[in-house]
A and B are shown apart, each in its own frame.
Chain A
Amino acid sequence: MTIEVKNIVKKFGAFAALDNVDLKVGDGELLALLGPSGSGKTTLLRIIAGLDWPDAGEVSIGGEDALARGASERQVGFVFQHYALFRHMTVFENVAFGLRVQPRAIRKDEATIRARVKELLDLVQLDWLANRYPSQLSGGQRQRIALARALAIEPRILLLDEPFGALDAKVRKELRRWLRSLHSEIHVTSIFVTHDQEEALEVANRVVVMDKGRIEQIGTPGDVYDNPATAFVHGFIGESIVLPVDVSGGSVRLGGRPLNIAANGAASGASNLFVRRHDMQIGPAGSGALEGAVRHVRSFGPIQRAEVALSGGEGKTVIEIDAPRDRELRAGETVSLQPRRYRIFAAQR
């Protein structure tokens, strides 16, 4: 089932929570929606599910106009950011809910419902919790029950709003893998919201990066990491060093001093140079675009992280870089730095 969102605008008062959002999700795809807090991720999901209505735009699910139907008719599985399990029902009844409220004409008999719930609880590996109440479950268990409940109605599409947001890093990692294998098993078109870039990159086929109610970039995990479309994406996905530079006629200057790097077609004016920490190559003094004194080195795993105070300019600019362990760095040493890969984006005013 495909999902298509066209020119969606959603305003709360004068504030635009969604500003002309366009999105297509292919059949059976698992799409990650990534963005900082308040970027409009939940709002977009709610509109797709029919829990909110857009001020303008279109939503279609499986080629049908979804806005013509209410939330209860859309058959959308929604896993809420805060689970929203029915607190007065057992786990079993929570999962059975969607089956019990079906119109009489298509409602299944009790035995079928029981079998189906059992099956779903097996799927999320929590059949032994059937008689507990939500308050007696751990966060990760609640999350999986919420997912089982959403799957019970055989949803045409599945929307997961930060399903692992409230869990600790380890459980998150486990559930994330589990979700990925679950998806390859049941193949339902899914949108998965997160503000954790690692999670998005690991789980999804495609990643949508949002900021301030707009879509900044859509691409494969590799794409958004290697070819960020905007300064925001570069800063948000992966860690970046940002240096304020001036671009004029193809030359790049840092604090008035020319940097020996190409502008790569960046427009003239105040700009920012973005370099990934591990894309700064360290060389002997006098051989690179930048120079600085190593102030502090920490080694862990395969890399060493060095704090380098850049020389030149009036004050001290300190950046953190990651270097492989093969070349030993010492505090106090003067080194040159050459960006291997970098991007220049016009500075925002």
Chain B
Amino acid sequence: MTMQSGLATSPTQLRVYAPTADLDVASPPSREQERARAIVSPRDSRTEPGPVRFVIIALALTFLTVFVVLPLVVVFAQAFSKGISSYVAALTEPEALSAIRLTLLVAAISVGLNLVFGVIAAWAIAKFDFRGKTFLITLIDLPFSVSPVISGLVFVLLFGAQGYFGPWLQAHNIHVLFAVPGIALATVFVTFPFVARALIPLMQEQGTQEEEAAISLGASGLQTFFRVTLPNIKWGLLYGVLLCNARAMGEFGAVSVVSGHIRGETNTMPLLVEILYNEYQFVASFAIASLLAMLALITLVVKTVLERRLDEGQIPSDD
């Protein structure tokens, strides 16, 4: 509160205290005002004339067709070029089955781990204030900004024969590189950001109010997480898991570096596609590729559904 000393010389210098009841009814803009604003706003400047609109849309569609639809069609066309029986035969080859199995295993491991890590990281970032928070956020994004090949190389440097842990691992007869653990590690690293990135904005927006309410009602930390936090983020979590899974199954660069390409053992589906292609086994190669393409399509559909759920989940805020 400011008070003047000395003589007040103008009407405005004098303070008459009003109760806050009067002050806090800041009136929202009336309907009239809003309508007036809507009329004044140059709405037409956003709508281009017909021909321009047509050209822009046509360009976008052409681009999509050439770069997305066409390749997809080609993949399926090639896969089925020798008939369904050779397609099925290609997929039931022991090498192919092994690659599919390995891919599913690696995807399951990375989705599982990243689900846990991602939720914990997002929780820490969204709900607590601590030093080094911005650093942690940057760190989470690191796998996105580093070339996957480099990510793979990092693991070679760590676990390779000449790497930091190499001699120790060798002494204990543990295989990381050119084996499932290496592939899983590289994939986990590359796909780490997906879950955390999907959750952080969601959790930040939701704040800690509901958690605090739960705790004041006597809920334990775990009860609060499973009954309040998790249900609130479930669609975002599924979204992150979906993208994480798609990337885990499709990862090539990082996995290629650590895999060693042992046939029937350390080849994932993307790696096998390349190997078969280089050996001119086009049908087999594209048959596997068609599986990955289908994964992509399914991912897209589910993603669209989830995005709609997420939008619906945006309940108008309480105040």
A residues near B (Cβ < 8 Å) are: 36, 49-51, 70-78, 80, 82-89, 97-98, 100-102, 133-135, 142, 149-150, 152-153, 166, 169, 195-199, 231-232, 234-244, 254-256, 270, 272, 277, 309, 313-320, 347-349
Asked if residues B218 and A196 are in contact (CB atoms below 8 Å), the reply is: no
Task: Return the contact of A72 from the options B5, B6, B21, B218 (Cβ within 8 A).
Answer: B218
A320: chain B residues within 8 A (beta carbon): 16
Asked if residues B209 and A82 are in contact (CB atoms below 8 Å), the reply is: yes
B45: chain A residues within 8 A (beta carbon): none
Choose, from B174-182, B196-204, B227-235, B282-290, the stretch at the interface.
B227-235
Asked if residues B217 and A240 are in contact (CB atoms below 8 Å), the reply is: no
Asked if residues A347 and B15 are in contact (CB atoms below 8 Å), the reply is: no
**CB of B159 to closest CB in A, whole Å:** 43
Asked if residues A317 and B209 are in contact (CB atoms below 8 Å), the reply is: no
Known: A73-B218, A244-B4. 19 other contacts (CB 8 A): A51-B216, A71-B212, A72-B217, A74-B216, A84-B209, A85-B213, A97-B217, A100-B227, A149-B217, A166-B318, A231-B3, A235-B17, A236-B20, A241-B16, A255-B6, A313-B7, A317-B8, A319-B16, A347-B3
Asked if residues A348 and B20 are in contact (CB atoms below 8 Å), the reply is: no
- How many chain B residues sit at the interface, stated as a range, is 35 or more
- Nearest A residue to B209 by beta-carbon distance? A84
Task: Return the contact of A242 from the options B17, B19, B228 (Cβ within 8 A).
Answer: B17
A86: chain B residues within 8 A (beta carbon): 210, 213-214, 228
Asked if residues A347 and B5 are in contact (CB atoms below 8 Å), the reply is: yes
Asked if residues A272 and B3 are in contact (CB atoms below 8 Å), the reply is: yes
If the complex has contacts A97-B217, A244-B3, A313-B7, are A84 and B24 also in contact, measured as CB distance less than 8 A?
A: no
Give the docked Cα–Cα distance between A93 and B10 (Å): 59
B residues near A (Cβ < 8 Å) are: 1-11, 13-21, 24-25, 209-210, 212-220, 223, 227-228, 231-232, 315-319
Asked if residues A197 and B19 are in contact (CB atoms below 8 Å), the reply is: yes
Give the docked Cα–Cα distance between A324 and B4 (Å): 30
Asked if residues A72 and B216 are in contact (CB atoms below 8 Å), the reply is: yes
Task: Return the contact of B217 from the options A50, A98, A272 (Cβ within 8 A).
Answer: A98
Asked if residues B218 and A101 are in contact (CB atoms below 8 Å), the reply is: yes
A270: chain B residues within 8 A (beta carbon): 5-6
B319: chain A residues within 8 A (beta carbon): 82, 166
B24: chain A residues within 8 A (beta carbon): 195-196
If the complex has contacts A101-B227, A135-B315, A142-B318, are A49 and B210 also in contact, measured as CB distance less than 8 A?
A: no
Asked if residues A76 and B216 are in contact (CB atoms below 8 Å), the reply is: yes
A195: chain B residues within 8 A (beta carbon): 20, 24
Give the docked Cα–Cα distance between A123 and B17 (Å): 39
Give the docked Cα–Cα distance between A196 and B212 (Å): 25
Asked if residues B5 and A87 are in contact (CB atoms below 8 Å), the reply is: no
Give the docked Cα–Cα distance between A236 and B21 (Å): 10
10 cross-chain pairs, A with B, having the tightest CB-CB distances, nearest first: A255-B7, A270-B5, A315-B9, A98-B217, A84-B209, A101-B219, A235-B17, A318-B11, A84-B213, A135-B315
